[in-house]
Amino acid sequence: MTENQKESTKNNLEVNPEKESNNINENLTAEDNLDTDNTSHDENLSDNVKNSISNTDARLEQLEKEHETLKSQYVRIAADFDNFRKRQSRDQDDLKIQLICKSLSAILPIVDNFERARQQLKPESEEAQTLHRSYQGLYKQLVDVLKQQGVAPMRVVGQKFDPNLHEAVLREPNDEYDEDINIEELQRGYHLDGKVLRHALVKVSMGPGPNNDSQREEEKDKVEDKEVPDIDLSESE
């Protein structure tokens, strides 16, 4: 080996410690930069997670509000539908009752004719009695059908006049009944399950007439004249 090569090798050995030191410093700097990058990355990641949680909470709150709104709408629609169903059922029942009343009201004049005929007919011969029994059988069947449908006749004679049940055709004085009392039934009235199917035509009492009133006053005066006067007990002492 020449002298020059030995000198170069010696110089390289002397210089290498400085390079080694520089390399170590560079490595430390790189590690510090890496730690700084990792910290920044963790902070960014934490901010992203916080933003994501915040957005999720806001979305959840929005969904809860929408849920409450839809629930309120559902409850309101369900209530409206239930009211509609009840109203439809009630209207159907009313329509059914109206149809029944209309049909039965058309039959009632036939019943009236049967009753008038029963009052007027007085069968004497055997043939007339046979016809009368046949007629009575038909009348009974008709009455039974009306009873099955809930029809019942009113009892009005002797009852106080009620415009909700009765229709006054005549009013006249009457000694037997007080004022506004039904004294005669001119056409029978009927109930249908407690409701008025047909009003009764009645004659209403006006109470005692004016002649009867004056007569009663005269009788009262006569009785008062015959009464014994009061006696003062102090005079007899």
Residue pLDDT, tens place only, 95-111 = 888 888 888 888 899 88
Q: Are 161 and 196 in contact (CB under 8 A)?
A: no
Number of domains the chain is built from: 1
pTM above 0.75, yes or no: no
pLDDT single digits (tens) 15-35: 455 555 555 555 555 555 555
In a domain, 130, yes or no: no
Q: For residue 217, give the DSSP letter.
A: H
233 assigned to some structural domain:
no
Q: Please tell me the least confidently modeled range out of 33-37, 45-49, 223-227, 229-233.
A: 229-233
Q: Residue 205: which of 182, 187, 223, 189 has the closest Cα?
A: 182
Residue 211: inside a domain, yes or no? yes
The tokens of 233 are what? Answer: 């007990």
Is residue 165 one of the residues assigned to a domain?
yes
Q: What is the pLDDT of residues 193-222, one digit of tens each?
A: 888 999 999 999 998 866 555 555 554 454
User: How high does pLDDT run on average in the chain?
Assistant: 76
The CATH number for 162's domain is: 2.30.22.10
Q: Tell me if 115 is assigned to some domain.
A: no
Range of the domain at 173: 152-226
Q: What is d(CA 181, CA 159) in angstroms, rounded to the nearest whole number?
A: 6
Domain assignment present for residue 212? The answer is: yes
**DSSP for 15-34, written as a single string:** HHHHHHHHHHHHHHHHHHHH
Calculate the CA 125 to chain-centre distance. 62
* pLDDT tier for residue 232 given thresholds of 50, 70 and 90: very low
Instruction: Please check whether residue 70 lies inside any domain of the structure.
Output: no
Overall residue count recorded for the chain in this entry: 237
Domain assignment present for residue 86? The answer is no
